[in-house]
Structure 1
Amino acid sequence: MSGRSGHTAGAFDIRTVIALLFVIYGAVLVVVGVVQPHAEIEKSAGVNINLWAGIGMLVFAAAFITWARLRPIAVPDQPAETAEQ
């Protein structure tokens, strides 16, 4: 045993929730960036900003998920002892 008591936050870790939101929004932007007409791309100086922003969001989400997996938050099984009453 490692000597640590408790368990990890898992799905309740805020980093996981944020990563999930970025995956959803990033996937939507990637799809919109792939299917949008060329005329819309020309409005943004020829840069497919939806596609690039979506890819950036997916990379950011991957970084958050990696961070949450490598450094999980430990949740104690029992509350900490309070000071003498």
Structure 2
Amino acid sequence: MVTTGSVKGILKNKQGMPIADAAVMIKEGSHEFNDMASISNAQGEFFVSGIAIPGTYVLQINHSSGTTTKEINIQSPDTVIIINL
């Protein structure tokens, strides 16, 4: 059964400091999705809601150092992930 939920992520640099003002978009995934994007806040936090769970998604993260893609596997609603860039 597929349900929808939200994902909270925290972006950190190599020194463990939060990355603010990064654009986080779902690039592809195991379920259909509308254009979903978020901007990280001063603590590096971003939120994406309304995604089908469980599922595997590829995030595209545009930040001051460039663009990074990261595959995430979401198994339960209200998941929190930490992404080190």
Normalising by structure 1, report the TM-score. Answer: 0.19
Higher RCO (CA 8 Å, separation ≥ 6 residues): 1
More helix by share: 1
Normalising by structure 2, report the TM-score. Answer: 0.19
Q: Which has the larger radius of gyration?
A: 1
More strand by share: 2
